[in-house]
Amino acid sequence: MPKTIKVLSTVIRHNPHFARLVTIPLDKVAPWKLTETTVVEGSINGIEMGRRSLKRWDDRNCWVDRSA
């Protein structure tokens, strides 16, 4: 199992019509050596958010859909 990481980030809404999301710097997940969208489990402030897809955003960030 890949190592657990902790990331300080902000929940954002890129567009009022889209779901909330959390951006994560790619360098934080670099140890996982990801090559494609990956299912992750996580929590925000200690509250489990369940299984979500971690997707690449751009050359510096990836994102996780925060909506239920």
Distance CA 47, CA 44 (A): 5
Distance CA 35, CA 41 (A): 18
Which tens digits make up the pLDDT trace of 9-49? 888 888 889 888 888 999 999 988 888 999 998 888 888 98
Cross-strand pairs, 44: 47
What topology does CATH give the domain 11-65?
A: Thrombin, subunit H (2.40.10)
Q: Which of the two residues, 67 and 48, has the higher pLDDT score?
A: 48
What pLDDT score does 2 carry? 65
Model-level pTM? 0.75
Q: Helix-strand-coil percent breakdown of the chain, rounded to 5?
A: 10, 45, 45
Say if residue 59's pLDDT is above 60.
yes
Domains of the chain, residue spans: 11-65
